[in-house]
Amino acid sequence: MNKTELAAFDRGLRDFTTEMTKKFQEKAAAGYTGWDVCDEDYLLARMDKNVNERDWTDVANLAFFLWMKDQKKDVQTEPDEWDFSHAPECGCFVCRKRRNNG
């Protein structure tokens, strides 16, 4: 991979993970919870549905939930505990809140 390709990949990865984080945080702020105790078959079925709809952000978030379950990662439930390093232009609700309050 040359430098141009690597830079494009890096930008794409940053943009995609920012979208994943933004969507996850918006759903969390709207009160959606329970992915960590959700049945794995349900998560896989949702992933199939999202693949058919070409909703790649939800596919990636569901893959992340399944990965977290496999890793038996501890779940942090309070947004203030989340440790996200976002780009200055990030539009997720946590970054907007930090900019508005800071």
Global pTM value? 0.66
* Percent residues over pLDDT 90 in the chain: 38
Q: What value, to the nearest 5°, has the Cα angle with vertex 65 and ends 38 and 16?
A: 140
pLDDT at 71: 82
- Average of per-residue pLDDT across 40-58: 94
Please give the distance of CA 2 from its chain centroid, rounded to a whole number.
28
